[in-house]
Amino acid sequence: MTLPAKTLTAKIVADRDFIVAPLDRRVFGTFVEHLGRCVYGGIYEPGHATADENGFRGDVLALTRELGVTVVRYPGGNFLSGYDWEDGVGPKEDRPVRLDLAWASTETNQFGTNEFMLWANKAGVEPMFAVNLGTRGPAEARDFLEYCNHPGGTKFSDLRKSHGFEQPHNIKFWCLGNEMDGPWQTCAKTAREYGALARETAKVMRWISPDLELAACGSSQRAMPTYAKWEYEVLDECFEQVDFISLHAYFRNDGNDIAEFFGEIDNLKVYIDEIIAVSDAVAAKRRSKKRIMLSFDEWNVWYKAHRPEDLKKPGWPEAPPLLEELYNFEDALVVGGALLTLMNRADRVKAACLAQLVNVIGPIFTETGGPAWRQTIFHPIADCTRNGHGEILKLKVDSSTFTTKAHGEVPHLIACGVFNPQTGQVSLFALNRSTEDAMELDVDLRGLGEALKVGESQELYDPNLKAINSKDAPDAVSPKPNGTARISGCRFTATLKPQSWNVFTLMA
């Protein structure tokens, strides 16, 4: 490729003595909901050519492992607020078929708690479960936790054993409901109503398992009219009983304006800072040293598959195709930049779940009865999970900027550095948001040693921002080597193509 005449420059200083925090690898999570073809036709399809004895698609399992996700949220989502967990356990022939009001679908309940735990063990992921605080409450949450985590000798733990699961599942991370501020939610609540309900639910759950990690619902999105007031009032009710507040964010490009789309990433930083401020205000009111952590348990690009027919199909079908976003190259760049933003706040963002894993706004796409392939957004996520081990460096970044209408001046470069004290490896992630100009990157690695050498050096680039991966061209957008990376003493340099995602590892 011939580089444009104009070349941007960006400088970074990375020092071993300046870190944000150790990276909690639960930031590399995802989400499986009983919605569309995420479960049925996604992770679970008995009769598929790759299906195992449990009906789990082997090709999806392999791609899940390659993606490197660490934690998976289940079973919802909007589905959660009308879900009876008892429907999804026990002999499959005895499970009831229900109407799912959230997505106007018929739910067969052929996949439930124990199937998910079998799948999670095969995928090598930690479960993040959720309890229904829409149509149900503390009593049902108590029973569900007893079923999942109690060793035995009680009604629900012995029920689990009778279903063939002698050992408890020991699920530690639980979400207390989902988007309870949303009027679309089954049995939505006011902030005070929900906060009190979350407090009492958390209380009884902790009486069973004191070491649980519990997340209260934050606002469904930053644009909600009750935003921030909701978080304050919820935490004011349940501060002592919870560890996390949840955040949800979906990035849109409705105006087909790449500058504004890129600017959505910077809005994410503002969102994080605001929720930290609100939660710390609740702590200050109590004169408490406790800090509520952030769980971004739903986030992704989502705007194309957002028409009414993408959300619901007539006639109560089983597992209809819903929210099947076909991701293009620019979506991958935004997902990569957003993930770096989450990683750079490792001091407070301790968990995050890309919504969702497969078919439904997911990095993996399948054809029912056919193949599975990687969508464009798969690649930046896999790059981060593969190389994101250790401590987030507090980088000093000097970059040129561009102007957006909604977000003001924002830097061309988004970068993140991770130092692994166990191996001495430094991982650098860099997103050049200029669509016209290449960028000369110069990194001062002071305090990280002079004996480093370049390991992995690759880029995700396509001249066509609308390029996609498909069944017929599954690798059309995929990583390629970046041959420009050099290191001399404590200085690392590389050239970043316009509109490109880049990953470099420096080995001791």
CATH number at residue 326: 3.20.20.80
Catalytic residue chosen out of the listed positions 107, 115, 146, 179: 179
Residue 251 lies in a domain: yes
Give the integer Cα–Cα distance in Å for 484 and 495: 6
Is residue 288 located within the same domain as residue 403?
A: no
pTM above 0.85, yes or no: yes
Give the integer Cα–Cα distance in Å for 234 and 226: 11
Q: Strands, DSSP E only, in 285-378? A: 293-301, 349-355, 364-366, 372-374
Q: How many domains does the chain have?
A: 2
Is residue 357 located within the same domain as residue 410?
A: no
Q: Is 231 a catalytic residue?
A: no
Q: Domain holding 409: CATH number?
A: 2.60.40.1180
Give the per-residue pLDDT at 6.
Answer: 77
Question: CA separation (Å) from 407 to 370, 404, 410?
Answer: 42, 5, 7
Is residue 324 located within the same domain as residue 232?
A: yes
List of residues 6+ apart from 213 with CB closer than 8 A: 172, 173, 174, 243, 244
459 bridge partner residues? 480, 502
Q: What are phi and psi of 144, to 5 degrees?
A: -65, -45
Pick the last residue of a domain from 318, 353, 387.
387
**Torsion angle, alpha carbons of 283, 287, 291, 297, to 10:** -10
Is residue 319 located within the same domain as residue 341?
A: yes
Q: Is 309 a catalytic residue?
A: no
Pick the last residue of a domain from 387, 411, 439.
387
Is residue 382 located within the same domain as residue 400?
A: no
Give the integer Cα–Cα distance in Å for 271 and 261: 16
At residue 15, the 3 state secondary structure works out as: coil
Is residue 240 located within the same domain as residue 280?
A: yes
Is residue 373 located within the same domain as residue 405?
A: no
Is residue 401 located within the same domain as residue 450?
A: yes
List of residues 6+ apart from 454 with CB closer than 8 A: 485, 486, 487, 492, 504, 505, 506, 507
Residue 360 lies in a domain: yes
Q: Where are the alpha helices (DSSP H) in 182-227?
A: 191-208
Length of the chain: 508
Give the per-residue pLDDT at 5.
Answer: 54
What letter does residue 427 receive in the DSSP assignment? E
Is residue 140 located within the same domain as residue 62?
A: yes
10-residue block means of pLDDT along the chain (508 residues)?
70 96 98 98 98 98 98 97 98 98 98 98 98 98 98 98 98 98 97 98 97 97 97 98 98 95 96 98 98 98 95 97 98 98 98 97 97 98 98 97 94 97 95 96 88 94 97 98 94 97 95
Catalytic residue chosen out of the listed positions 298, 325, 330, 459: 298
Domain range for 69 is 36-387
Give the integer Cα–Cα distance in Å for 348 and 344: 10
**Torsion angle, alpha carbons of 145, 150, 152, 154, to 10:** -50
CA angle (19, 495, 492) in 5-degree steps: 45
Give the per-residue pLDDT at 489.
Answer: 87
Is residue 220 located within the same domain as residue 284?
A: yes
Element (H or E) spanning 7, and its range? strand 7-13
